[in-house]
């Protein structure tokens, strides 16, 4: 993505660094060779191939028709993508318009480089030999004056961050019809339980009761016409319901500490009129009951009695997960499955259409095919589970199975099909082994997760819990931003997500690769400074999502002036701008 001179990179550094780079080079070479063998490309190689074709003039039948090129979200562009845009821009005489906001650049971990947007004028001039005209779009039609003032203040509270913002950038102003100017609110409680309980009561008052009254006399209440809990979202650094697994004294691991999304979900469920939560990334999908029972049925029907799986060398935790899935499916089959599904499952397990009721209804049963599409099996199972069709989270989990099976069919020798050949049991077992290894094992290991980009709308009858990254580009009437529900002390272990003391892996890679990039200069800013910059951008995005009400939540230990925390007004110089006067009303 950074168009690195790879050979130059491999030869640079100390003997130890060269040895380590050689190991990485071997792994990448084998990866590339395997892709070529299979006739595949990953996303980066796909982009690189497109750039090569554009440079060679091989796409003139397409590019000759271009007149204007428009690129949105340019702050999340990487160097490889920029070169593609410039090649397309060259085809239309430099008629290139890019739109973006450097304050909302969140995807450095994906290789995005905000410098390409911040320095676009100079880069455009160098490439096209003419000046670009810059237009500031500073009128905001989303939120109210109090939120505008809060966001503008946050963007300017750190002097060092102001230095890396686009030069001359004006403050946000408000356009459109004025709406009620509710103050920015904050809820800080002594414990996580207190916070979850009070927040659940607040949401119940707003969306089920007579509203929540502020000290000023204003009442926050749902829209009387069509207001619903779906008008609200909780944003957090991670939507995970638990922290990392905790190691016990006996060496085993127990569940991680509860986080606000879990405790709030429990409190909302305990209300007289329960409120549901939409949080498909709240826990490892391997622990979701719908995923477990579906994965168990797939394992049992692809590999009855676990004969092939037991002969495979699988990591212990993955093998255990698959066994647990099978147990869940077997229990479901014995107590909850309708007879029609039992017949369907029996047919797959026995590789026979001669199941209860079928031969009588259709006459002589046809022979089981030599090759069976497991994708048909996935959708066949899904037919019997309404959650896959009626529940928004269920739809995402079905997509996980379908997507991974599609990927497995591309890299495998059997194309995602199950072979049933009574004369060649070894071949049949190979097809089963491939499906287990490439299809179910990646899901059972937790490597495959839901695709957030498929979520185009959010259920109106549930509270949405989102990562701040996922919320970019979205807006809700009421937004709750978690600024410190898990921060009890100034412990260094969580400094990276509140007040960095070191750069992230992404910044280390930047420093390692940029000296060998053809189009990116090494930055003078330290990795720590860039990590601070990214945190300010992250919370700028979070704080600018609401239309009417912004509510900050956290523990009392994270009140301004206590734990150092970018999200509560701290600058990297060690000063808290929100002390002694905080820019919110505490409720």
* Domains of the chain by start residue, with CATH: 179-280+459-502+528-586 (3.40.50), 289-453 (no CATH)
- Which of 273, 166, 142 has the alpha carbon at shortest distance from 541? 142
The 10s digit of each residue's pLDDT in 521-545 is 888 889 999 999 999 999 999 999 9
Say how many C-beta atoms besides its own lie within 10 A of residue 550's C-beta.
26
Span 512-523, mean pLDDT? Answer: 86
Say how many C-beta atoms besides its own lie within 10 A of residue 492's C-beta.
10
Rounded to 5°, the CA angle 269-272-275 comes to 40
Distance CA 523, CA 534 (A): 15
Q: Is the pLDDT of residue 489 over 50?
A: yes
Residue 393, judged by CB atoms within 10 A of its CB (0-12, 13-18, 19+), counts as buried
Question: CA Rg, the chain, in Å?
Answer: 27
Span 315-322, mean pLDDT? Answer: 93
The answer to whether 103 touches 165, Cβ cutoff 8 Å, is yes
Categorize the per-residue pLDDT at 356 as very low, low, confident or very high, splitting at 50, 70 and 90. Answer: very low
Span 238-254, mean pLDDT? Answer: 74
Inter-CA distances, 581 with 52, 155, 323, 560, 585, Å: 56, 17, 57, 9, 10
Can you say whether the dihedral through the CA atoms of 360, 366, 369, 373 is positive or negative? negative
Query: Could you write out the DSSP letters of every residue in 489-553?
Result: S--GGGGGGTS-SS--HHHHHHHHHGGGBSS-PPPSS-HHHHHHHHHHHHHHHHHT-EEEEEEEE
Q: Is 233 helix (H, G, I), strand (E, B) or coil?
A: strand
Q: Is the pLDDT of residue 250 over 70?
A: no
Q: For tokens 């498929």, what's the residue?
A: 454
The 10s digit of each residue's pLDDT in 382-408 is 999 999 988 889 999 999 999 999 999
Please, which contacts does 307-315 make with residues 24 or more away whose CB atoms are closer than 8 Å?
308/429, 308/432, 308/433, 308/436, 309/436, 312/433, 312/436, 312/437, 314/441, 315/445
- Return the minimum-mean-pLDDT range out of 69-83, 130-144, 416-430, 445-459: 445-459
Categorize the per-residue pLDDT at 253 as very low, low, confident or very high, splitting at 50, 70 and 90. Answer: low
What integer best gives the mean pLDDT of the chain? 91
Q: Is 377 helix (H, G, I), strand (E, B) or coil?
A: helix
- Which of 113, 171, 161, 114 has the alpha carbon at shortest distance from 137? 171
Inter-CA distances, 480 with 199, 236, 382, 429, Å: 10, 9, 35, 52
């Amino acid at each position: 993505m950074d168009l690195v001179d790879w050979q130059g990179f491999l030869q640079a550094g100390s003997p130890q660094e060269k040895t380590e780079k050689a190991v990485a080079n071997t792994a990448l070479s084998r990866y590339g060779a395997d892709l070529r063998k299979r006739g595949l490309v990953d996303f980066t190689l796909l982009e690189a191939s497109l750039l090569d074709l554009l440079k060679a003039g091989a796409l003139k039948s397409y590019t000759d028709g271009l007149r204007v090129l428009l690129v949105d979200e340019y702050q999340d562009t990487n160097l490889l993508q920029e070169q593609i845009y410039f090649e397309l821009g060259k085809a239309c005489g430099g008629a290139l318009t890019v739109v973006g906001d450097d304050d909302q650049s969140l995807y450095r971990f994906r290789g995005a480089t905000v410098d390409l947007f911040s320095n676009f004028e100079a880069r455009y001039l160098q490439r096209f030999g003419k000046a670009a005209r810059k237009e500031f779009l500073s009128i905001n039609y989303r939120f109210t004056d109090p939120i505008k003032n809060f966001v503008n203040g946050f963007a300017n509270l750190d002097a060092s961050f102001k230095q890396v913002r686009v030069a001359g950038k004006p403050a946000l102003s408000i356009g459109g019809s004025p709406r009620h100017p509710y103050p920015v609110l904050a809820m800080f409680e002594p414990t996580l339980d207190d916070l979850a309980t009070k927040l659940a009561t607040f949401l119940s008052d707003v969306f089920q009761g007579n509203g929540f009254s502020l000290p000023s006399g204003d009442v926050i209440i749902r829209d009387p016409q069509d207001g619903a809990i779906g008008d609200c979202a909780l944003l957090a650094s991670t939507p995970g319901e638990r922290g990392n697994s905790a190691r016990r004294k006996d060496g085993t691991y127990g569940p991680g500490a509860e986080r606000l999304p879990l405790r709030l979900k429990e409190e909302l469920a305990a209300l007289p009129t329960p409120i549901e939560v939409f949080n498909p990334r709240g826990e490892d999908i391997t622990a979701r009951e719908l995923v477990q029972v579906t994965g168990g049925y797939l394992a049992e029907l692809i590999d009855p009695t676990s004969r092939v799986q037991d002969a495979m060398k699988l990591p212990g935790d993955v093998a255990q997960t698959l066994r647990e899935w099978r147990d869940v499916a077997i229990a479901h089959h014995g107590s909850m499955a309708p007879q029609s599904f039992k017949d369907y499952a029996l047919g797959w397990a026995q590789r026979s259409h001669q199941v209860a009721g079928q031969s009588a209804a259709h006459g002589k049963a046809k022979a089981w095919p030599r090759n069976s599409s497991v994708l048909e099996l996935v959708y066949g199972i899904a037919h019997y589970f309404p959650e896959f069709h009626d529940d928004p989270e269920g739809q995402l989990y079905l997509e996980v199975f379908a997507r991974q099976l599609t990927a497995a069919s591309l890299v495998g020798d059997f194309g995602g099909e199950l072979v049933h050949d009574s004369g060649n049991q070894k071949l049949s077992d190979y097809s089963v082994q491939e499906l287990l290894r490439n299809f179910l094992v990646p899901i059972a290991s937790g490597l495959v997760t839901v695709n957030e980009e498929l979520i185009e709308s959010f259920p109106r009858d549930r509270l949405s819990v989102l990562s701040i990254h996922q919320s970019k580009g979205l807006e809700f009437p009421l937004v709750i931003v978690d600024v410190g529900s898990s921060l009890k002390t100034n412990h260094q272990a969580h400094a990276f997500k509140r007040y960095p003391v070191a750069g992230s892996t992404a910044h280390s890679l930047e420093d390692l690769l940029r000296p060998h990039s053809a189009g990116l200069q090494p930055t003078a800013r330290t990795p720590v400074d860039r990590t601070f910059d990214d945190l300010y951008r992250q919370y700028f995005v979070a704080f600018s999502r609401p239309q009417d009400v912004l509510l900050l939540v956290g523990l009392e230990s994270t009140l301004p002036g206590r734990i150092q925390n970018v999200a509560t007004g701290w600058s990297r110089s060690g000063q808290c701008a929100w002390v002694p006067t905080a820019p919110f009303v505490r409720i």
